[in-house]
Amino acid sequence: MAPTVTLVASGSWTDFSIQTLQAVTPSSTIPAGDRVFFVQGTTVGAGSGVSPGASGWGGLVSLYDTAGNVFTRDSPTGGVANNGTTAEVWSAYVKYPIPTSGYAVVATPDSRGMSAWWKVFGVNGLAENLGTSPVDKVAQADNVSVTSYTSGTTATLSTGDTWCLGVHSINTNPTAPWFTDTAGFSKIGSDQSGTGPGSGRALSVLQKEVTSTTGLASTGTATSASGASVIATYKVATPVAPDTSGLQIVQQNVQQTAAANSLAVTFPGSTTTGNLMVVNVTAWKSGGGAPGIGITDNKGNNAGFTAVHGTAPSTGGGARVYQWYCKNFTGGASHTVTATTSPLASSEISVSISEWSGGDTSAPLDQKNQATGSSATAQPGSVTVASNGEIYITNSTEDAGSLFINQSGWVKLADIAINQDIHVQWQKANAQTVNPSSKFVSGSTSWGAVIGTYKPAPAGGTSNPQTLTATSTTTMTMTRQMGKPVLATATTLASIARQIGKRLTATASSTATQLAQKAKLQTLTATSTTTASVARQTLKIVAATSTTTASIVRAITHTMAATVTTVALAGRTFTKTLTATATTAATIVTTFIAAGAQTIFTRFFKPPTPSSGEFKPPNPRRG
């Protein structure tokens, strides 16, 4: 399939040398399963003290977005720097849809700073899935004092259907039309040029699909100047749909403030009632000390926020790290979560909020742990989860103002080293016990960390209710509700019995086999395949002519007339409390439970005593 490109935003930034949360306002969403590109033409920062001819300058060193997608650099590491200009291509598989509001990228430049023109666009139709990039071959070239630009030619392409991206960064302010393609590429949006950011420069981004494996270059002409050019190629195929099972992140946002007594963060889109929210916070009181933090929102969920941490872990410098969750919350548009210091105190506060679908609506938190220490790696402590399919979420902070390297296989939700640092990562459970690490780029420092693990909804729907309802009209529903450990996937009497009885093997698929295994009854033969034949062999008192449930009950109890031919009628005869309207097994059980009649069960199940002159069945042997 031919890839389709959707340009959603373009802009610039000027002379920044520290990690920056750069707001981006996409003109349309980029859905899950696409690839998002961040492409820029970069010049070393004017205030860096580095001359444009300096070598070894690399532009951006890391990039991720506030939706939770982590970018990788597709253009060669280090860029083309001997004229002070790089052309950079970063891309990410869109696991978490990119919204049209509340979206930002978090960019970390080379320490010497940078200025850049940039474009953000989505591409659908590349051969990939999460964790496998479709990038194929790349090439780059430096163009010094020329009018003809080239990216250099790639090696032979791997497949006969390839999408190619050409990027040309010119370190001057050329005259219109700025850049003219000479290789059959088409432009993605308009060229960006002008006197800013910084000194004059221009950026041109182009695309082309080819069906040959011959190596390819992106070429063109411009006003005599110097610049850098890159070509990156990508395999084309039908994209693989993202995993939608279990807990799924819906959206998230992260913000921080330098000096305030509270910080409000709004979800990019409307939240959905019934979902799970996880809130991670770090805070440090200006002048030293650790403030207490309370969490509220504007949807009436204040009482629902539950702390995962105990006493919030504190670094040596007094910063604290927190985590809360809110289950089955009330959602809606413009959903805002506020972290407030207690008592009110001017503080550095960082807040990460995330919404998750598919969570357990009754008791989502499974395990938790927290720790403090002084080292180059923060670890919150081990947790052992109940089953695969849960998610782990960790939050950590430290005193050095450092970025962190997430553990392999984990996804960053937040990594901000401005003001009080916040480092949040998550992973879907693929092991029973973990103690994840957050490695700090700056090296050893004092840190605090917390982890919570969250359960998906039980198979078949939400958590089991604790009491029988009037709608519990089947044996399966009632058994699952009364027997708490039975899963909703246990939909046959055999599977339910195996879960409750523990000693039953998976091959115990008939009533007779189950009774034999459960009670170790040695008298049941393989031919005992009906309730009547099993009862006759077990109790020894039922005649072979007793072939129905009613006749067996009459034979055991000697209390019912031959006219008692239904279970409901037998129940009423036994207990004297059931009304004539109790005509089904579900109604009878519900009536028992509602009445709280322990005496009814005693009367129903207690065998007659020997003194009554009636036979007392022998107790079955137990294994």
The pLDDT confidence band at residue 455, using thresholds 50, 70 and 90, is very high
Mean of the pLDDT values across residues 89-111?
84
H runs (alpha helix) in 156-196: none
Q: Is the pLDDT of residue 109 over 90?
A: no
Mean of the pLDDT values across residues 437-454?
85
The pLDDT confidence band at residue 604, using thresholds 50, 70 and 90, is very low
One-letter amino acid at 541 equals I
Residue 258 DSSP one-character state:
E
One-letter amino acid at 353 equals I
pLDDT in tens, 468-486: 444 444 554 444 444 434 4
CB 151: neighbour CB atoms within 10 A? Answer: 30
Higher pLDDT, 185 or 520: 185
Residue 496 DSSP one-character state:
H
456 within 8 A of 390, measured Cβ to Cβ: yes
CB 120: neighbour CB atoms within 10 A? Answer: 25
Q: Is the pLDDT of residue 467 over 70?
A: no
pLDDT in tens, 338-381: 999 988 888 899 999 999 999 999 999 999 999 999 998 889 99
Helices (H) and strands (E) in the chain, counts: 8, 33
Mean of the pLDDT values across residues 27-52?
74
Q: Is the pLDDT of residue 200 over 60?
A: no
Mean of the pLDDT values across residues 269-279?
95
Q: Is the pLDDT of residue 323 over 90?
A: yes
Q: Which of 30-34, 128-132, 372-376 has the lowest mean pLDDT?
A: 128-132
Which residues are within 8 A (CB) of 68 and not within 5 positions of it... i.e. 6 or more apart? Answer: 95, 96, 249, 252, 354, 411, 412, 413
21 within 8 A of 106, measured Cβ to Cβ: yes
The number of C-alpha atoms within 13 Å of 42 and in the hemisphere containing its C-beta is 31
Mean of the pLDDT values across residues 533-556?
56
Rounded Cα gap, residues 517 and 278, in angstroms: 46
Higher pLDDT, 338 or 428: 338
The pLDDT confidence band at residue 217, using thresholds 50, 70 and 90, is very high
Rounded Cα gap, residues 237 and 125, in angstroms: 6
Mean of the pLDDT values across residues 103-110?
82
The pLDDT confidence band at residue 242, using thresholds 50, 70 and 90, is low
Mean of the pLDDT values across residues 598-610?
43
Q: For residue 20, what pLDDT is reported?
A: 75
Q: For residue 350, what pLDDT is reported?
A: 92
Rounded Cα gap, residues 185 and 123, in angstroms: 16
- Which bin fits 461, alpha (ψ -120 to 50), beta or left (φ > 0)? left
Residue for token digits 């009037």? 470
List phi, psi (to 5°) of 515. Answer: -60, -40
Mean of the pLDDT values across residues 169-194?
81
Q: What dihedral angle (degrees, nearest 10) is formed by the CA atoms of 126, 132, 137, 143?
A: 90
Higher pLDDT, 401 or 446: 446
Which helix (H) or strand (E) element contains residue 519? helix 511-519
| pTM for this entry | 0.52
Q: For residue 602, what pLDDT is reported?
A: 40
Highest mean pLDDT pick, 273-277, 343-347, 374-378, 455-459: 273-277
Rounded Cα gap, residues 30 and 533, in angstroms: 65
Average pLDDT of the chain, as a whole number: 75
Q: For residue 187, what pLDDT is reported?
A: 93
Domains in the chain: boundaries: 4-235, 248-454, 520-623
Rounded Cα gap, residues 482 and 466, in angstroms: 7
Higher pLDDT, 610 or 230: 230
